[in-house]
Structure 1
């Protein structure tokens, strides 16, 4: 009997680098993309086979040995896949918990839908005639299509998909070995040992949130809930994501920023003041976003009225922002605060990049984001996660009037298509309000069963 678990993708829209320090929270948005793991019996005795059928030569085989009270996992040299420390670490930790691995040999199959991995190669090769890089083009592509290349050559977005993949893998194993119940999938997880992913796993298990990591690790029941606040993008808005066809070496960027920060550890230094200022903006953005949601619950017509003020022929006149602490502010002022805080966060991230010598928001990305944020209906944006050349995010108004909402999206897409300094392609993923990691039925996931049969 196969066990299928999916986990959502996520975007760190504020808190990059700061979240590596337990004092600072980050704003994480859960997305509509989902990553799937299928656990099923295998015929090879004494081994675990991990297969990611969308990539060439993506098969990893592991010998599993019980040693006293522990488990040792070694990669088999004749496997076609290169070493994968994410997979091996996940297997070692999860199976050490389950311990039910004895006498149970399983095959793991790893797949993901196309809303988070870059679709650029598929957009231009799906048909003999090239398709434009638009959301409509992406919607026409069937799920789980092969990438046609080894996993090391896949075009990634830099949005942290590793954490989502590992979350689905760990959750599927724990569920398969009855170590957890399906209802607990949203609250149980292993902490990532990787600096770039460990801040992201809570959203892969949960939903959009303001999250503060706990380091050093605490017992699970102590380390989860006290450090998380619910977060939801404001009503009548949406997140738009784009893949930028350049890419960055995220581990190197993180290492260099941490080295810079370590060189100025004292309170009152430039790096300390910069991080404190960024933290205030990050927290302020989370507060304003939640206040907009609260205001919608109290008086939805005010939000609806403001969202309709996105005439494509006119620029939105954002009201001068009022202090974040003020209680009596208009809806326009709240949106204005959101816009200003997003800009202030970008300013702070650029300052950090300049001081550390790391291209957190490179000039090319700055020019792209400035152009996007000047469009009617665009509230703000930035470079997600560790930044660099990988991707951008935008928060845009989405009025109830479908024609008006479409015009906002269309204006952004048109700018991306015409942009020449960087190659920009939209991503299908938007914010998702669905629960996080969850058990699935194989036959209910469109295209998944066929993808597995094709790799058999």
Structure 2
């Protein structure tokens, strides 16, 4: 097997939804999602080899190429053969070359299939100088890896006899293999599937030379296609904030109308696929009505995240909340309206802090430093406009947490379990901590904190988490990074010891 020279690596970040849990399922409401420096990386490269084809049952399908998908963290290498039939309701087939060792991966396989279907139309519309045959003249090799932050590393620490501490995490090598089966893996809630799908879609389109991630229209094409791939893999249309943040980075998000891609899901339910032109028409449709406005964390603030290592069944929680909302329209509307009001106050206060940092950076950072040295209860006595915004954020988050607990009680869902309530309260009592809470859908997956960025506050919060008695809590090695999907050249395939 001879590797060709061209290797493209695209990466996409994980996310933390700090406001808008459940509300982002409805277009009426927004959510704030911060992306982090834990990323998924997808490498796409070509290789030449003797063509060893096997015929599929339907001889109308024409062999295109072999595709090898390496997942070194899962000690997995799957080889497929790609077939094409331009006259079929399934224009491409991805056939496992070794059925006896095959393990299905819906996120990878559907991303490859739908990207290939879209590629035909993209070539026809925007790159007539290219052809499918020229793009697939070499076989494809794909390698996918994720940063350690996506998975709980507590099993790795125990396996190595290391203490369950933040400093021990620093000693672990990058891109560690996961322990246990896919069902047993304890994730940290950073949106691993969305980061994987976004990075893989991007790496394929970039490898084929069909998009430029510096062009807004190409990034929109990537976003729309990745949303479709992710929804197909999940078997439902989600809120989409995880794909949007993986593609665009930290943002204020408002979802797209499900009707935009319902046709694609309906076909999938019938085990049919869209034609390349129809898929491209939907990807390029002006009906995509989602909003993504850049919203990085204000300067001088820091996002921290804890692995709570208990885990929650998010789909079950979402279903029960939506059932309660449907059965109690007036009560749920009032609670959601109140949550949304406080979510908006947080957004406005973050925006105000960003503007204050631009207008007088020196005073801004002085005010942040002074606020970290006094009890938060005394912030209300301060005249600083910066500290006033911190008070708004803090009070709004306290009210959001109260309302989320109320909604959880009404729907019989542990959105903020008592262990998490106590942990969040203890975290928010530490000097320099502005807010803390359970991200996204709530439950036990994780806890976030937004603090004033200094070593003392950071160390105090880590100590609070490490000494918590109700459950095991470990601060993660990550920070907010507002960048979305990008070409990534800092990693090379050689470190993963993949035989290409």
**Structure 1 length as normaliser, TM-score?**
0.87
Q: 1:449: Cα distance to partner?
A: 2.6
Task: Choose from 100, 107, 127 the match for 2:141.
Answer: 107
Corresponding residue of 1:319: 379
Establish whether residue 48 from structure 1 lines up as the match of residue 67 from structure 2.
Answer: yes
Say which is worse superposed, 80-89 or 386-395, in terms of deviation: 80-89
- 1:196-230 Cα offsets, whole Å, 9 max, x none, are 57221111111211011111337547467972222
Corresponding residue of 1:229: 293
Does structure 2 conserve the Cα–Cα contact (< 8 Å) formed by 1:28 and 1:210?
Answer: yes
Distance 1:153 1:240 in 2: 25
Task: Choose from 23, 29, 32 the match for 1:27.
Answer: 32
Distance 2:104 2:71 in 1: 14
- Higher percent of residues as helix: 2
Corresponding residue of 1:86: 107
Task: Choose from 267, 290, 302 the match for 2:363.
Answer: 302
Distance 2:338 2:179 in 1: 45
Number of paired residues? 432
- 1:40-63 Cα offsets, whole Å, 9 max, x none, are 23556544232211014x344444
Distance 2:239 2:109 in 1: 15
Q: 1:241: Cα distance to partner?
A: 0.4
Secondary structure of the residue aligned to 2:343 is helix
Residues 201-240 of structure 1 aligned to structure 2 (within 5 Å): 201-215=243-257, 216-217=259-260, 220=284, 222=286, 227-240=291-304
Establish whether residue 64 from structure 1 lines up as the match of residue 106 from structure 2.
Answer: no
Distance 2:165 2:371 in 1: 24
Does structure 2 conserve the Cα–Cα contact (< 8 Å) formed by 1:186 and 1:438?
Answer: no
Corresponding residue of 2:23: 18
Residues 42-441 of structure 1 aligned to structure 2 (within 5 Å): 42=47, 43=49, 46-56=65-75, 58-68=76-86, 71-74=91-94, 76=96, 78=99, 80=101, 82-99=103-120, 102=133, 103-104=136-137, 105-126=139-160, 129-134=161-166, 136-184=167-215, 186-187=219-220, 188-189=222-223, 190=225, 191=227, 192-193=230-231, 194=234, 195=237, 198-215=240-257, 216-217=259-260, 220=284, 222=286, 227-265=291-329, 269-309=330-370, 315-320=375-380, 330-398=385-453, 405-433=454-482, 435-441=483-489
Distance 2:100 2:393 in 1: 50
Q: 1:110: Cα distance to partner?
A: 0.7
Cα distance change on mapping 1:170 and 1:94 into 2, 3 Å: same
Distance 1:240 1:36 in 2: 22
Q: 1:117: Cα distance to partner?
A: 2.4
Does structure 1 conserve the Cα–Cα contact (< 8 Å) formed by 2:44 and 2:142?
Answer: yes
**Structure 2 length as normaliser, TM-score?**
0.80
Secondary structure of the residue aligned to 1:183 is coil
Secondary structure of the residue aligned to 1:155 is coil
Q: 1:346: Cα distance to partner?
A: 1.1
Secondary structure of the residue aligned to 2:197 is helix
Does structure 1 conserve the Cα–Cα contact (< 8 Å) formed by 2:18 and 2:439?
Answer: yes
Distance 1:321 1:18 in 2: 33
Q: 1:303: Cα distance to partner?
A: 2.5
Q: 1:139: Cα distance to partner?
A: 2.5
Does structure 2 conserve the Cα–Cα contact (< 8 Å) formed by 1:318 and 1:333?
Answer: no
Does structure 2 conserve the Cα–Cα contact (< 8 Å) formed by 1:6 and 1:36?
Answer: yes
Q: 1:165: Cα distance to partner?
A: 1.0
Cα-Cα RMSD:
2.6
Corresponding residue of 2:44: 39
Distance 2:34 2:413 in 1: 25
Cα distance change on mapping 1:60 and 1:354 into 2, 3 Å: farther
Mark the runs of 5 or more structure 1 residues left unpaired by the alignment. 323-327, 399-404
- 1:311-358 Cα offsets, whole Å, 9 max, x none, are 67x533343499xxxxx9722211000101111111121112111111
Distance 1:362 1:98 in 2: 46
Corresponding residue of 1:402: none
Cα distance change on mapping 1:451 and 1:352 into 2, 3 Å: farther
Secondary structure of the residue aligned to 1:40 is strand
Secondary structure of the residue aligned to 2:442 is coil
Distance 2:151 2:440 in 1: 16
- In our comparison, the structure showing a higher alpha carbon Rg is 2
